[in-house]
């Protein structure tokens, strides 16, 4: 039975990838449902994995890829339809860019464990929540998009700094160990 339970979080993450692929092609009236579905699957996949003790590094990676893919496609789609400037996207995903650069650097120097052992942290969760709330704002409350963008960028910057510091500390420990 546990083997089947272990599949549910990965199915939810894969569903989020499907929602991401559909987002640019669906009518704007359905965007809110895709955003809410993606947010729900993001919450549920982690909750199920922890609840049933089926969390794995590979499942966490699938979850992260699904999160980043959905967010990037949804943000780009919103920007391309004129909801906000495309130049906001790098600031909104600063945390994701930091983590991606850290992963690339870790792989390049042969220190993948320094990156791999960085778990989810509350600033990262806050940044993800901010991104989802921003997308909801874009769809439901377009008058306050600038304020939502600023809050989301601030959350993303805090998370980027937190993950950057965590990675730096992991590299220093690795160097001190030898």
- 97 & 171 share domain: yes
User: Where a domain ends, among 32, 67, 82?
Assistant: 82
Q: Domain boundary residue among 64, 82, 100?
A: 82
Q: Per residue in 85-121, pLDDT tens?
A: 999 999 999 888 888 888 888 788 877 666 666 677 8
Interval 18-41: pLDDT, tens: 999 999 999 999 999 999 999 999
CB-count burial class (<10 Å; 0-12, 13-18, 19+) for 48: buried
Task: Give the domain extent around 110.
Answer: 85-178
Q: What is the mean pLDDT of residues 8-17?
A: 95
Strand extents, DSSP E, 108-159: none
The residue out of 82, 105, 127 marking a domain boundary is 82
Nearest-angstrom CA–CA distance, 75 and 107: 28
Q: What is the pLDDT of residue 116?
A: 65
For the cut 90, the answer to whether the pLDDT of residue 6 exceeds it is no
In this structure, the answer to whether residues 127 and 178 fall within a common structural domain is: yes
Residue 74 and residue 92 in one domain = no
Q: Regarding predicted confidence, which is higher, 77 or 118? A: 77
- Same domain for 65 and 123: no
Q: Are residues 93 and 158 in the same domain?
A: yes
């Amino acid at each position: 039975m546990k083997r089947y339970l272990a599949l549910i979080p990965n199915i939810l993450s894969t569903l989020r990838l499907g929602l991401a692929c559909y987002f640019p092609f669906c009518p704007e009236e359905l965007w809110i449902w895709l955003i809410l579905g993606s947010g729900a699957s993001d919450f549920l996949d982690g909750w199920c994995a922890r609840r049933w003790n089926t969390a794995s590094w590979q499942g966490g990676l699938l979850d992260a890829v699904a999160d980043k893919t959905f967010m990037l496609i949804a943000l780009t789609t919103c920007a391309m339809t004129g909801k906000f400037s495309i130049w906001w996207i790098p600031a909104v995903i600063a945390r994701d860019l930091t983590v991606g650069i850290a992963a690339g650097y870790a792989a390049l120097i042969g220190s993948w464990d320094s990156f791999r052992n960085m778990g989810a942290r509350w600033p990262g969760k806050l940044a993800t929540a901010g991104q989802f709330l921003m997308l909801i704002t874009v769809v439901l409350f377009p008058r306050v998009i600038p304020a939502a963008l600023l809050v989301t960028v601030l959350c993303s910057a805090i998370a980027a700094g937190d993950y950057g510091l965590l990675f730096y500390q992991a590299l220093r420990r690795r160097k001190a160990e030898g």
